[in-house]
Amino acid sequence: NAGVTQTPKFRVLKTGQSMTLLCAQDMNHEYMYWYRQDPGMGLRLIHYSVGEGTTAKGEVPDGYNVSRLKKQNFLLGLESAAPSQTSVYFCASSGTGSNQPQHFGDGTRLSIL
């Protein structure tokens, strides 16, 4: 049972560098989400997708881009990393409907120097 898998688990970047975080789910879920978690702030939604080929902005989308080319994958990109993007990033997926729980990956710990 892989569930939701995130790669990489850790990464250190320099300011201005770019990178892509990969999320893969094997539960055939339609919906996928990217969150960031910062101390004392809970989880905040960055972008989400309600199906292959669709994406939408969440609560804190600035500085990030996403793509959902395949149903099972959801990519989060940082085009020009900034220290304010140092955080733990979580991917989640869920079935359709607001009563469906989200299933989370183990996170990517990203530091921007």
Partner 1 sequence: AQSVTQLGSHVSVSEGALVLLRCNYSSSVPPYLFWYVQYPNQGLQLLLKYTTGATLVKGINGFEAEFKKSETSFHLTKPSAHMSDAAEYFCAVSSPLFTGGGNKLTFGTGTQLKVEL
User: Nearer to partner 1 by C-beta: 17 or 45?
Assistant: 45
Is residue 34 close enough to count as binding partner 1 by CB under 8 A? no
Is residue 46 close enough to count as binding partner 1 by CB under 8 A? no
Q: Which tokens belong to 21?
A: 């975080």
Please select the residue that binds partner 1; options are 12, 27, 50, 82, rule is CB under 8 A.
50
Is residue 22 close enough to count as binding partner 1 by CB under 8 A? no
CA 103, CA 24: separation in Å to the nearest integer? 12
Please select the residue that binds partner 1; options are 66, 81, 90, 110, rule is CB under 8 A.
90
| Contact by Cβ (8 Å): 22, 86 | no
Segment near partner 1 (CB under 8 A), from 12-20, 34-42, 66-74, 76-84? Answer: 34-42
Segment near partner 1 (CB under 8 A), from 12-20, 47-55, 61-69, 72-80? Answer: 47-55
Q: Which tokens belong to 29?
A: 């879920």
- Residue ranges in contact with partner 1 by CB under 8 A: 4, 31, 33, 40-45, 48-51, 56, 58, 90, 92, 94, 96-107
